[in-house]
Structure 1
Amino acid sequence: MKITHIIYSLNTGGTETMLVDIANEQAKTEDVSVIIVNKSINEYIAGKFHDGIKTYRIEREPGSRNPLKLVKFNLLLKEINPDVIHCHNHTLINLIKWPLKGVKYLTVHALNYPIVNFNKYDKLFAISESVKKDILSKGNYKVQVVYNGIHTELITQKKHFKPDAPFKIIQVSRLNHTQKGQHILIEALSLIKKNNPKLQFTADFIGEGESLDYLKKLVDKNDLSQNIRFWGNQTRSFVYQNLHKYDLLVQPSLFEGFGLTVAEAMAAKVPVLVSNINGPMEIIGNGEYGAYFKSEKIDDCADKIERIIKKYEFQKITTLKAYNYCFANFSIESTSEKYLNNY
């Protein structure tokens, strides 16, 4: 089967990372190529594609309507002549100007996704049941759920469940507090510090984004500069090799279609605490494989963190169940197989 994935840019986002993993896994048995439309390319990410994958760069300026780039794109697609055309942004279908035999698919990576181009695709993939439900609330589309996958075998597992002081918390995501809710966690930690001044804890935020300055000021305002550190972007290898050193991952998102870092923490046998929104709650089995707090409620977030700390020894049972569930449902092998079976 000839599969061509199409994406606008190749930066450090979750969609791009997922594309690399899926393409590499599919290339073990299929003829896989990737077309990157825009010039915006992170060479480190691009270098992660396996040698057997053909990658093509159209090198269009983002947002450009240069007709020569459009012709180049369509000539290339016609030359490849794929059986499967798998798009990772809904507007990519509008770049295809000539009739092709390939069946056209779109992966919907988020909630509240624009539906304007959905009917131009033969089938939609949703990264969670929550995203599928959101799509179907807007129309009678053909949708199949395929969870995002992770390399569970590359993640180091936690072995000790008697945390030493300080209690170590980690949060991994783009620094965009209006979506990811990092300010909720910071305010919750401030509340914990006021209520339990003797409790020693640290919180590391991994990621970059437009909210960095705002979050740093919030840390200073709450006198948490000795507790909270911002590590910036780190490689996935760094995250996979260091997650197990933490005692808790907190994902306080305000809206989220899935929540890949939650699954990664489960694979590391690290306890997780998420806001009770659809995507992350789906990952933790509505509380069976992790803890949750009321979305946007600072006091409830603080309360749940304190409960986890006080009864930490009980987390070992939950994390083992979470690990087994993650391995069965969120491995990259499972994700690739489901895509191949549904093309």
Structure 2
Amino acid sequence: MERISIVTEFIFWGLTHNPAVEEVCFVVFLFFYTVIILGNLLTMLTICMVDLLKSPMYFFLNSLSFVDICFSSSTAPKLIADLLAQNKTISYEGCILQLFGVHFFGCTEIFILIVMAYDRYVAICKPLHYATIMDRETCNKLLLGTWLGGFVHTVIPVSLVVQLPFCGPNEIDHYFCDVHPVLKLACTDTHLIGGMVTANSGTITLGSFVILLISYTVILVSLRKQSTEGRCKALSTCGAHITVVIIFFGPCTFTYMRPDITFTEDKMVAVFYTIITPMLNPMIYTLRNAEVKNAMRKLWGRKVYREAQGK
């Protein structure tokens, strides 16, 4: 289909039309985004400087923190700026780029969470073979697979949307460009495309959710054979992972596992997987992890000592 479009920009409705609420949301989301950037950067810096990258778990955690920064940056800066703007506009090209970023980094994060679950499964259920199975070459291939999988997934909805004609109206009832809100504005029948998008995104979301639940169920069942100390440590790690999975996949499933229909609640639901989860990830994975906390104490304690010695 040749794309013939009159629309050159879109207008977001945003989260609310109440100026007082927008000012409060501006402060709240600016704080959230600052925590996302600083928290994930601190996690990455600690893992790299204390040489934890040789451990597969921290190797993937480092990648998760990087993806969280990219994922939230696809929507949060625009949302924050729009909360104080009179005209919440975005160009057609910017909309497509935002659509690509949300799906690419979001899907990549899903696959990284699956890989992290597999890593914990091998570590807990096959500890004697862990070093052999999760060697550096395997970890690199798994990480590359997450990025390639995210890209392949993203090509489908983006390639479908760029073919559509847009001739007005151009108001999107959302705070970022997502597939279903954009499809509503197309000047053609989008039921088939909407079904394809739902099949693509919905299958990945629900399928990954089921895989993760099965993986952690198997892990939890296998913990009966562990010692009390090992069981507590494994439960703490898996508990953190399960918390992230529920917070991330619950809203994603609500959004993408349904026909081409949009609800007013979609905007608030989207806040959970675009902002809340990237903010909670560094807290959950670091504050509940004794090794990372000790590494942070050593790293920043050493830095303070050097600064004191320099004076």
TM-score, L = length of structure 1:
0.23
Greater relative contact order, per chain length (Cα 8 Å cut-off, separation 6+): 2
TM-score, L = length of structure 2:
0.25
Higher strand proportion, which one?
Answer: 1
